[in-house]
Amino acid sequence: MIDRVTEYARAVVAGKVIAGTPHIQACQRHLRDLERQNTEEFPYHWDIKRANRILEYAEMLTIAEGEEPIQVKLRGFQDFDLGCRFGWLNQKNKRRFRRSYISKARQNGKSFENGIIGTYVAGFGGYNYGKLFTVATKKRQAKIAWEEMAKFIQADEDLSEKFKVYDYKSLIRALETQCTIEALSREGGLDDGFRGIFISVDEIHQHKDNKIYKALYNGTRALDETLVSMITTRGDKLNSFCYEMDSYCLDILNGTATAEDFFVDIYTLDKGDNLFDPKNFIKANPFLAGNEDGLNQLIIEAQTAKDMGGSELRDFMTKSLNMWVRNADDQYVDPDKLKKCARNKKLDLMRGKECYIGLDLSGGGDLTTLSLEFPLDDGHFYTYSHSFMPKGRLEEHIETDTAPYDIWANKKLITVTGGQMDFKNDYKFIVKHLKDIISEYELQPQACGYDPHNADGFLADLEELGCPLIMVTQSARFLNDATVDMRLNIKSEKFEYDQENELLSWSFSNAAVVENSFGEIKIDKKVGAKTKRIDPIDACINAHVAYQKCNEIENQDLEKNMEEYLSLMGWDK
């Protein structure tokens, strides 16, 4: 049996198909999962028949729009995006992927693909009396995917016998399964309580927040199978839910976040690509640039954008190249560089060693993190990081954020404190945890760098550590040296951390550089990433400040002693 999905993924990874890095990573993820399927670590398996079934169904459909009807013929990227979502199954033979995020330039068939999925799930998915929705902020947008489904039905005599289309109600009913497909919008009163077996969420770059997504996704929890399919072209609003979701999805693709139920595919140009070179257009336009007429239209748009600049260029970059228009140079570290610093190294290998402590204290009860930095004999530094969050906040953030805090808690990267009604961190508990680590691993703390914010209440407890306490002022002037040095250590792979600490690598991916008027830098959250925490990296930098300050003092003492010695010997002149 031909495995069209895997054949395409292999072609992309081998460089036989021109593709941007995120799409290549999506294909690599599929191939990597094939190698580890049916293992304790990865209890999913690939079913070629289930994947091919939706592809065969799609190619029985008719495209009515145009001069004359034509039969659907899928391209390789459509084989991949459709087949992957239906071919991966869990141990119960239910679909693995419960949500998906696909981002492409406009007019590349996003709603077309969701139209295929909607009619397939409603009529042939094996579920009776299920509800399916097409959703957007405005009814007109919500009806785009719905109308794709209606057109497929009306263009096919056999499908017309299996479905009834009520255009005036924006409702489709599958007559055999009694499943319904309805177009909904926020302006039309979309709220909680929707239990959809398939939900097409269109153009999320237009969504002001994540309320629609969370309401719909939370409503699917009791279902064995569901698919919340988010489709969008990137926009120009960095302070948005779409930007947060896009960033999280990139983390999934590059391996800094784990979400096995989430299918992600992003078609875009790479950093450094020539925006006006036609051979790059297919990276963001796998359908449009795959045919001569579409490519020629893109070439015309590119020339106009190049000549006019300004808003015309901005629109071309977002809508035709699917790029966020932002300054990528503000990123603190390159994720690929950071991945090279990951090691199969645990805290027990640091037993008996000297360390420098860093503490970042959250204000309202979000992440609080402690970090231990160990200078190694080869000039490298090993960093241990652990975070804390009160249970009330954890459950709150699982609802509102796009980060798997519950998974990280299960992996013991976060210690959950208190009960459901606890929303503040217990700093004394955290200090006790630190003392227990020091005792268990016979560590030798040399200094502790702490954020003075909220520290007054437990300074006395920190003094019991028996090492100098260094107050780390959170200003660019104070933090510049440590921030710059840590970045250089990462670039030169002198920074080491446990490869299983996804929370730490996720924190690094959220960090941007901000600069004061003197050119001194510190880190902050990226623009628009208000729920993307950087507390673990803050703690790492506080620990590095402690290391630098202690060694600064030692170096100053050595210089002073040498001056006194030279003076005594009469060699000071």
The DSSP element (H or E) to which 89 belongs, if any, is: strand 88-89
**What is the residue-averaged pLDDT of the chain?**
88
**What pLDDT digit, counting tens, does each position of 518-544 carry?**
888 999 886 656 667 889 999 999 999
Question: What pLDDT does 187 receive?
Answer: 60
Which of 3.40.980.10, 3.40.50.300, 3.30.420.130, 3.50.50.60 is the CATH number of 4-267? 3.40.50.300
User: What percentage of the chain carries pLDDT values higher than 70?
Assistant: 91
**What pLDDT digit, counting tens, does each position of 162-212 carry?**
999 998 888 999 999 999 999 987 665 555 557 889 999 988 877 777 777
**What pLDDT digit, counting tens, does each position of 2-32 carry?**
999 999 999 999 999 999 999 999 999 999 9
Question: What pLDDT does 327 receive?
Answer: 44
CA angle 509, 403, 373 (to 5 degrees): 50
Question: What pLDDT does 567 receive?
Answer: 53
Q: Band of the pLDDT at 395, cuts 50, 70, 90?
A: confident
pTM: 0.70
Calpha distance 492→340 (Å, rounded): 10
Domain residue spans of the chain: 4-267, 335-558
Q: Are 53 and 86 in contact (CB under 8 A)?
A: yes
Calpha distance 525→24 (Å, rounded): 27
The contacts of residue 480 (CB under 8 Å, 6+ apart) are: 520, 521, 522
Q: Which of 256-260, 401-405, 566-570 has the lowest mean pLDDT?
A: 566-570
Question: What pLDDT does 565 receive?
Answer: 42
User: What percentage of the chain carries pLDDT values higher than 90?
Assistant: 59
335-558 shares the fold of 4-267: no
CB burial string 464-473: b at 16+ within 10 A, e below: ebebebbebe
Calpha distance 132→522 (Å, rounded): 47
Question: What pLDDT does 53 receive?
Answer: 97
Phi, psi of 60 (to 5 degrees): -95, -10
> Which CATH architecture describes the domain 335-558?
2-Layer Sandwich (3.30)
Question: What pLDDT does 166 receive?
Answer: 93
Q: Band of the pLDDT at 566, cuts 50, 70, 90?
A: very low
Question: What pLDDT does 431 receive?
Answer: 87
The DSSP element (H or E) to which 365 belongs, if any, is: none
The contacts of residue 73 (CB under 8 Å, 6+ apart) are: 59
The token duo for 180 is 């319904």
Of the candidates 120, 177, 189, 190, the one whose C-alpha atom is nearest the C-alpha of residue 148 is 120
Mean pLDDT computed over 497-510: 90
What is the distance, to the nearest Å, from the Cα of residue 445 to the centroid of all Cα atoms in its chain?
35
Q: Which of 35-39, 142-146, 274-278 has the lowest mean pLDDT?
A: 142-146
Q: What is the dihedral of CA 429, 435, 436, 437, to 10 degrees?
A: 110
CA distances from 223 to 25, 94, 127, 287, 425 (A): 29, 10, 11, 33, 35
> Taking the CA atoms of the chain, what radius of gyration do you get in angstroms?
27
